[in-house]
Structure 1
Amino acid sequence: MTWLRALKETARAGLTVERKRLEPLVALRGAAGLAVVIGLSLTLFGPAVAASSAFGAFQAAIATFQRSWRPRPELALASGTSLAVSTFLGYLTGSHLLLFLALLCLWTFLAGMSWAAGPTVGIIASSNVAIMLVTVTIPTSVAAAAGHAAMMIVGGCVQAALVILFPVRRWGAHRDALADALAAEADYARRLRHDPVAPFDPEPLMAARDAATITARQARTRPAELHGARGVAERIRPVLASLADPAVGVPAEGKERDRVRELLAAAGAVLDAAARAIRHGEPVKIPPEAEAALRTPDTGAILTGPAYRAATRLGALLKDVLETAGNSNSPRPEDPAAESARTAPAPLLRPTLFALVPAAVRAVRGELRHESPITRHAIRVTAVAAAGYLLGHWLPLGHGYWAPMASVMVMRPDFSQTYSRAVARFGGTLVGVALATGLVQLAHPGTGLSAALAVLCAGMMYLLMRTGQVAAQACVAAYVVFLLGMGGQQWTQTVPERVVLTLLGGVLAMIAYALYPAWETPRLRTRLADWLIADGRYAAAVVDRYAHPAGKACPDVREALLAARDARVAWQEAVDRAKNEPVRHRGLSRAAAADAEEALAQLGRVAMLMEAHLPERGDTPVPAAARLAEALRKSTEQGAKALRERRVPQWEAVRTALDEWDGEGVPDRVVRRGAGLLLETLDELSDALDTSPPPMLVDGTSTKRPDDDGPRNPEGPAAR
């Protein structure tokens, strides 16, 4: 992609306003907390303290809106306290340019490195540095600075208290995550009726797992319907896939296929009903036709072998889902022996904020290398903040902190977000400043009215912040105009400087990324290699269980599956970041990347099909499966090395293990068919990565296959 097109795409993304579900009650609560803090500060201390305390309450409320499953009061307290500490230390060094510049560089570098601990921590830390640049200019003495810092902490405490006293949809986000996972599986079941090898995006299941990781305090108050349903939903997906896939299930057409379609439709209806019940906290209402389809005794007469086992297990799992969602009148499985355990699993515990510190330190330490995108971001944002502060200090405009503030707020570890946020911040600033300035000139608001208008703009920002950066930045720009006007500063003292310096800060951020980038495109091969290793380990763990039967509870298989999902998400995020970068692909074209992604997705899918039919404890072992598992593990690791070195992976060890297996006999067609499909998907991956021109025959024609001009195997190897 050329630079011109990349700039056009990122600018369009930054100026886009999306249609999102708004949360007016949550926005009202945040605005109310800000109003309380400003009102008390104005009454007790005056406009200067009110302005700084307002920043603390404003930032604390923003922290509660971040995409985090941690309790919102903790985020508000952490944000208000960290901003208070930053402001107080900043004021102590503010009178000495070099000393403050050293503190700014240190604080900015740490904020940049904090992205290693997650986006929520990174956003809060970056916002604290940006707001500190404003708040350090408000106090007039050390004692006043301490008082301002204390009021910032009070602002965070007020927002935390309001979250506790006036909860809006308590556990609502957790309910939505679990309901979205069940609804995604319902949609998957319906799509399988028409496309037996339909793809499935595991992202909703991963989000549900994140939501299920809670603190010890949350575990004591979590609603009963949020216990256990996620684990059951995880086990439903491979059963649905194995029931529908012709390779290990029933023929593509016929009486058996018709029965499978009925079961899939009923499963979709039941999962949708459970999702609605969990989302709204209501009893489950099962459609009568779905209940009738699951209760019919004809399944055992129509389906046999693996398909019958999958249908029986599906009925048991659906019953578990409905019991968890709060309905005991659910259809019973046809084979009582297939019922899964009803005991609720132990919750996944999230560490407290203090216990999180060592993990965050380890994450930051792991990123402290020059080739790391996080480290390059930290260096880049530190240099830009220092340069912006010096330029603002030397330019005869006043309020020079606007330039570094804009830079810190827009810069992110990746190219697309940095450039789109820079455009959105400048565009939003122009709109917000223009509207606020026009209102000031018309109404000439005093202290009280300026405070009210600032609260109104903050509330609008809370309401619209998820619809896009340009809308949020317009509200923030107007908020700052009214807030500083409350402290006695006229719009003519702030508006012109802010517009010019915001543009300067955005330009500095964009130039810095162009000069010192952290492109994702050259790392795509490494991301793909990591996914190949993770998928290979997952497939090997599944295959090895046929050699060592241990029942359905296999922690090693589960851990390998989660690692494969993480690797797949890392790959997809890398592709999304790379698609707008103005750099060459360097050996992995978009077409090759898409074909390789399809092949690896199919590899994980085939392993999932085999996982759905894992042998029970005590079943006859398959010794050849152990050799195949070892071959898969070593071959995928060697293939990943070849991929990084721009070579085509080879799978002779896997082929040899399968040939040896055929010589010993296979007791179950599902096992051998699944093992063959694993090799087919690996061959598909090699074909996708083989970009060398095909050899020519004597007559000058190509040996290229007839179908090579079109998409390679659009239905995936499992369809064959």
Structure 2
Amino acid sequence: MSGTTARWASALRDAARAGVRVERGALTPLLALRGTCGVAAVIGFTLWLGSPTLAVSSAFGAFASGIATFQRSYRPRAVLALAAAAGLSVSAFLGYVLAGHPWAFTAMLLLWAFGAGMAWAAGPVPGVVSAFTVAMMLVVVTLPSSVWNAALHAGIIAVGGVVQALLIAVFPIRRWATRREALADALAGVADYARRLREHPSAPFDPEPLMEARSAAAVTPRQARRRPRQLRGYRHLAERYRPVLASLADPVVGGVPDDGGAPRERVRALLSAAATVLDATARAVRRGERVRLPDEALAVLRVPADGPALPPVPARKAALRLIALTEETVEAAQEPVEVTSPGGRAHLRRPTGPGQVPVVLRTLRRELRASSPVFRHALRLAAVVSTGYLLGQALPTGHGYWIGLTVVMVLRPDFSATVERGAARLVGTVAGVALGGVVLALAHPGPYPAAALAVGSVFLLYALMRTGFMVISACTGAYVVFLLGIAGADWAQTVPERIVLTLLGGALALASYALFPAWETPRLRERLADWLTAAGGYAVAVLEGFGRPGDGTHRAVREALLDNRAALWEWDQATARAGAEPVRHRGLPRRRAGDAQAALTTVGRSAMLAEAHLPAARAPGDAGAAAFADALRDALGRADDAVRSGARPDWTPVREALVDWQRHAAHPDGVALRAAELVADALEELADAVAGPPADPHAGPAGRNPRA
């Protein structure tokens, strides 16, 4: 028991420290001012025409709708505000109607919280917005009303979201900024990769910025007609730079050796110049300016008539492709940002609102299983929120709903995020509520000054949104205290009660995760098997491109690459969560997980190096590459089952196909054959990692991996 206690204490301590850390985030004063104006308009209108109580209850709609617009999403901000307002108004109406019937309200709360938990299957933004709808239902329980008044309150809450949407439409601020940031980060990420390759030819590549840029590139038909030209072509260029840079820098698979003298220096110069061009492009995209490419870098990225020669074959092929990519970048940079015409190029399609419904329903059906972390989170959230509500009703306080409110804002599908948010909410709420209470005690403001203080707290919340949950909780706590001050609530009762109820809610959330966990550690083998299938599929697609060149080669390679990136991202997230969990490993200790990760990283990197040398569609095929790709494809299914069960994968057919290829190869030093040799060696290392000798039973789960 002492070992278990120590692991829990260590995990809680580390997660709590992470939660209370203040992050350095970018300030967005204009966006914060616009959102604050929406909250101020609703509070002022209801306070003028209605009553302080109506102003308190209705302000939540504009407040939560404004928070929804700050979430990391590529949906239009106005749509996010309207969607949040719709959910808030419906939950408020049901809460108002059933508030006088505790058991009916509890049943509705149970179902609503379960649905909010399942919303995480569609992504973090729907999960966060759905949590606010549960909070809305809990807040209004203190205000039982008739059906007519319930409809009136729900309508006013919906108006808050409409006001936010109208402000966004009338005062657009940095309309395409989120997409620009994603694309610029992708270009800057590839530039950083080029600089690291200059010093470390085997440096790993981080695909996350390119994955984010791909998500940002998906637009509706209406958005496709209106987006700036800069957001249309540079992502494809960034994707094409990736394998060319890796192939040019690599000293093993057809590249220039590290001690290659002048050719190696030429490679370093090309990599440095490419990084400079990509950085300049990223800077222009981020700012919405014309791209200005430095002449010094362009002079390096030209085929020289007199001067330094290009690297020898096959590195010369990669150098020529890099120069061609630079020329495309120069051509793309000649045109300023402009609005595109309806007949523009094809684009990644993002479903519209109605089109998103079947996608979400399919996702929810996939998550309705006992082993799903999202399903377990939904069950946990429903049970704990209902328990918190009933406990609050039993306590002799007037604000018992704060327990459930804390639970719904803290509880997340994974352990580390739950503990981090719990610690941050406790510290932030205590600070915010205490500060708000002191201000009310000293100033004794009336309804309108209290409303002004509440609006000021909202502005700070929106402006500091990216600095961490602790700051958000502090601003929210002060906002609630000032908001209740509008209705004349006693601050001396409000402050200590909310601190105690916050503690109870956080304790309930943590206890629920201990009693009904969804640990990631036991699922590491499943994640590794998924990554093995995806990385092996990427290698198969590339090598089949050498064995059977055709018009569909690049499309097949592209799809396999995206699958590999998705599986790598899942593995990365899984190891990060497992590293923070207070449980022992279940068959995949930290050392073995690290070795398996290194092996699959080599598989993906080898395929990437070969991808830069794919032959043309009409080129003759390589029978050895085709046979190796077929053998690897057949072995992957059996290897997937072996990894999941803890057995040793059998790569004998793959090794035999490689030996036969080596024996009959027309070009023994060819890029494809060398890449296949690296893939085969890496797969043997993977087999040793997943079925090696017993490891230290006290070793923890796999930690966060460096991305490949």
TM-score range, shorter chain: over 0.9
Instruction: Determine helix, strand or coil for the equivalent of 1:193.
Output: helix
- For 2:79, which of 68, 74, 77 is the aligned residue? 74
- For 2:231, which of 216, 226, 234 is the aligned residue? 226
Matched, 1:466 2:466: yes
Task: Compare 196-205 and 40-49 and name the one that shifted more.
Answer: 40-49
CA distance in 2, matches of 1:185, 1:74: 32
Aligned residue in 1 for 2:483? 483
CA distance in 1, matches of 2:451, 2:270: 61
In the TM superposition, residue 286 of structure 1 has moved relative to its aligned partner by 1.9
Amino acid in the other structure paired with 1:249: G
Matched, 1:310 2:315: no
Aligned residue in 2 for 1:586? 586
Deviations 1:182-205 (A, max 9, x none): 111111111111111111110011
Matched, 1:297 2:305: yes
Amino acid in the other structure paired with 2:538: Y
In the TM superposition, residue 132 of structure 1 has moved relative to its aligned partner by 1.9
Aligned residue in 1 for 2:128? 123
Aligned residue in 2 for 1:277? 284
Deviations 1:655-690 (A, max 9, x none): 111112123223471121111111122122223334
Aligned residue in 2 for 1:288? 295
Aligned residue in 2 for 1:425? 425
Instruction: Determine helix, strand or coil for the equivalent of 2:492.
Output: helix
Counterpart mapping for 1:123-162 below 5 A: 123-138=128-143, 140-162=145-167
Number of residue pairs matched by the alignment: 684
- For 1:9, which of 9, 14, 29 is the aligned residue? 14
Counterpart mapping for 1:617-656 below 5 A: 617-656=617-656
In the TM superposition, residue 428 of structure 1 has moved relative to its aligned partner by 1.2
Aligned residue in 2 for 1:321? 329
CA distance in 1, matches of 2:549, 2:503: 64
CA distance in 2, matches of 1:298, 1:645: 61
Deviations 1:682-710 (A, max 9, x none): 1222233343179xxxxxxxxxxxxxxxx
Kindly indicate whether the alpha-carbon contact (under 8 Å) linking 1:33 and 1:159 is maintained by their aligned counterparts in 2.
yes
Kindly indicate whether the alpha-carbon contact (under 8 Å) linking 2:293 and 2:330 is maintained by their aligned counterparts in 1.
no
- For 1:62, which of 62, 67, 70 is the aligned residue? 67
Instruction: Determine helix, strand or coil for the equivalent of 2:587.
Output: coil
In the TM superposition, residue 38 of structure 1 has moved relative to its aligned partner by 1.1
Aligned residue in 1 for 2:601? 601
Task: Compare 684-693 and 208-217 and name the one that shifted more.
Answer: 684-693
Kindly indicate whether the alpha-carbon contact (under 8 Å) linking 1:255 and 1:302 is maintained by their aligned counterparts in 2.
no
- For 1:250, which of 256, 260, 266 is the aligned residue? 256
CA distance in 1, matches of 2:546, 2:298: 34
Kindly indicate whether the alpha-carbon contact (under 8 Å) linking 1:259 and 1:299 is maintained by their aligned counterparts in 2.
no
Deviations 1:207-236 (A, max 9, x none): 110110112221111001111110111011
Task: Compare 245-254 and 514-523 and name the one that shifted more.
Answer: 245-254
Matched, 1:439 2:439: yes
Change (3 A) 1:361 1:715: closer
Kindly indicate whether the alpha-carbon contact (under 8 Å) linking 2:625 and 2:673 is maintained by their aligned counterparts in 1.
no
Change (3 A) 1:693 1:370: closer
Aligned residue in 2 for 1:415? 415
Instruction: Determine helix, strand or coil for the equivalent of 1:227.
Output: helix
In the TM superposition, residue 158 of structure 1 has moved relative to its aligned partner by 0.9
Deviations 1:226-260 (A, max 9, x none): 11110111011000000111122222222221111
- For 1:264, which of 250, 253, 271 is the aligned residue? 271
Amino acid in the other structure paired with 2:322: L
In the TM superposition, residue 56 of structure 1 has moved relative to its aligned partner by 0.2
In the TM superposition, residue 490 of structure 1 has moved relative to its aligned partner by 2.2
Change (3 A) 1:231 1:215: same
Instruction: Determine helix, strand or coil for the equivalent of 1:348.
Output: coil
Amino acid in the other structure paired with 1:594: G
Change (3 A) 1:50 1:672: same
Aligned residue in 1 for 2:610? 610
In the TM superposition, residue 650 of structure 1 has moved relative to its aligned partner by 2.7
Counterpart mapping for 1:684-699 below 5 A: 684-692=685-693
Kindly indicate whether the alpha-carbon contact (under 8 Å) linking 2:545 and 2:553 is maintained by their aligned counterparts in 1.
no
Aligned residue in 2 for 1:524? 524
Amino acid in the other structure paired with 2:286: R
In the TM superposition, residue 300 of structure 1 has moved relative to its aligned partner by 8.9
In the TM superposition, residue 282 of structure 1 has moved relative to its aligned partner by 1.5
CA distance in 2, matches of 1:395, 1:139: 19
Kindly indicate whether the alpha-carbon contact (under 8 Å) linking 1:49 and 1:151 is maintained by their aligned counterparts in 2.
no
Kindly indicate whether the alpha-carbon contact (under 8 Å) linking 2:646 and 2:691 is maintained by their aligned counterparts in 1.
no
Task: Compare 547-556 and 641-650 and name the one that shifted more.
Answer: 547-556
Kindly indicate whether the alpha-carbon contact (under 8 Å) linking 1:407 and 1:506 is maintained by their aligned counterparts in 2.
yes
In the TM superposition, residue 45 of structure 1 has moved relative to its aligned partner by 2.0
Amino acid in the other structure paired with 2:285: I
Deviations 1:489-508 (A, max 9, x none): 22234333222222111111
Change (3 A) 1:358 1:437: same
Aligned residue in 2 for 1:560? 560
CA distance in 2, matches of 1:619, 1:189: 30
Aligned residue in 2 for 1:569? 569
Aligned residue in 2 for 1:699? none
Give the alignment's TM-score, normalised by structure 1.
0.92
Kindly indicate whether the alpha-carbon contact (under 8 Å) linking 1:224 and 1:324 is maintained by their aligned counterparts in 2.
no
Kindly indicate whether the alpha-carbon contact (under 8 Å) linking 1:244 and 1:250 is maintained by their aligned counterparts in 2.
yes
Change (3 A) 1:393 1:302: closer
Amino acid in the other structure paired with 1:489: A
Change (3 A) 1:578 1:275: same
CA distance in 2, matches of 1:457, 1:144: 28
Kindly indicate whether the alpha-carbon contact (under 8 Å) linking 2:414 and 2:518 is maintained by their aligned counterparts in 1.
yes
Aligned residue in 2 for 1:331? none
Matched, 1:41 2:46: yes
Amino acid in the other structure paired with 2:437: T
- RMSD over aligned CA atoms reads 2.0
CA distance in 1, matches of 2:610, 2:33: 51
Instruction: Determine helix, strand or coil for the equivalent of 1:370.
Output: coil
In the TM superposition, residue 48 of structure 1 has moved relative to its aligned partner by 2.3
Amino acid in the other structure paired with 1:203: E
| Long gaps (5+) in structure 2 | 1-5, 337-342, 696-704
Instruction: Determine helix, strand or coil for the equivalent of 1:61.
Output: helix
Kindly indicate whether the alpha-carbon contact (under 8 Å) linking 1:550 and 1:615 is maintained by their aligned counterparts in 2.
no
Change (3 A) 1:625 1:553: closer
Aligned residue in 2 for 1:382? 382
| Long gaps (5+) in structure 1 | 329-342, 695-713
Counterpart mapping for 1:169-184 below 5 A: 169-184=174-189
Kindly indicate whether the alpha-carbon contact (under 8 Å) linking 2:624 and 2:665 is maintained by their aligned counterparts in 1.
no
In the TM superposition, residue 549 of structure 1 has moved relative to its aligned partner by 1.0
Change (3 A) 1:298 1:553: farther
Task: Compare 372-381 and 253-262 and name the one that shifted more.
Answer: 253-262
In the TM superposition, residue 624 of structure 1 has moved relative to its aligned partner by 2.1
In the TM superposition, residue 433 of structure 1 has moved relative to its aligned partner by 0.9
CA distance in 2, matches of 1:454, 1:631: 67
Deviations 1:629-650 (A, max 9, x none): 1211222322221111112223
Instruction: Determine helix, strand or coil for the equivalent of 1:220.
Output: helix
CA distance in 1, matches of 2:69, 2:553: 37
Kindly indicate whether the alpha-carbon contact (under 8 Å) linking 1:227 and 1:344 is maintained by their aligned counterparts in 2.
no
Kindly indicate whether the alpha-carbon contact (under 8 Å) linking 1:88 and 1:136 is maintained by their aligned counterparts in 2.
no
CA distance in 2, matches of 1:380, 1:171: 38
